[in-house]
């Protein structure tokens, strides 16, 4: 098994194919909430069964504005404008090495942007953070 270079793992708006640009860190989290079934026959030990699953993606990176012609230079800005400010719609997102070598894994699913922020310190690189919450199934594809 090869060790994957984190630089190759990227997040895309798969509806437009746009890379969420200038991302410096990204994480995909998958949770499985168990449901408790402990009862008087459990001999003092907690018992559980399967429950709901959910997933989320968090990104942060260098933030860029539009260029002099008004074209967005940062996919994060485009994703925010299209999917939060204008439509408040879920969009399909891909997390992984899209277009990588055979055997690479890509996760995809529909997600809402739940938070977005920009930080701009004096004489520092402006950065953004985006949190996406999945709705429905997260699909794993091997290229």
Pairwise CA distance, residues 95 & 12, whole Å: 7
Q: What is the pLDDT of residue 87?
A: 81
By DSSP bridging, strand 139-142 and strand 105-119 are antiparallel
Q: Would you write out the chain's pLDDT as a tens digit for each of its 143 residues? A: 456 677 777 777 767 776 776 788 889 999 999 999 999 999 999 999 999 999 999 989 887 765 556 665 556 666 666 767 678 888 888 888 877 677 788 899 999 989 888 898 999 988 888 899 999 999 999 87
pTM of this structure: 0.81
Q: What is the pLDDT of residue 76?
A: 62
Q: What is the pLDDT of residue 45?
A: 97
Assess contact for 11 and 95: CB atoms under 8 A: yes
Pairwise CA distance, residues 124 & 126, whole Å: 6
Q: What is the pLDDT of residue 46?
A: 97
Q: What is the pLDDT of residue 1?
A: 44
Q: What is the pLDDT of residue 94?
A: 87
Contacts with 139 (C-beta within 8 Å, 6 or more apart), sequence order: 107, 108, 109
Q: What is the pLDDT of residue 89?
A: 85
């Amino acid at each position: 098994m090869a060790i994957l270079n984190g630089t190759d793992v990227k997040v895309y708006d798969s509806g437009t194919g746009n890379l969420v640009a200038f991302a410096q860190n990204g994480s995909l989290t998958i949770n499985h909430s168990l449901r408790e079934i402990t009862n008087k026959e459990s001999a003092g030990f907690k018992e559980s069964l399967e429950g709901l699953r959910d997933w989320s993606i968090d990104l942060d990176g260098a933030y860029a504005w539009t260029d002099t012609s008004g074209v967005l230079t940062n996919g994060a800005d485009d994703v925010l404008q299209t999917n939060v400010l204008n439509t408040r719609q879920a969009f399909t997102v891909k997390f992984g090495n899209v277009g990588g070598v055979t055997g690479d894994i890509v996760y995809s699913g529909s997600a809402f942007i739940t938070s977005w922020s920009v930080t701009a310190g004096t004489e520092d690189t402006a950065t953004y953070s985006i949190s996406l919450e999945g709705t429905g199934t997260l699909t794993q594809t091997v290229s």
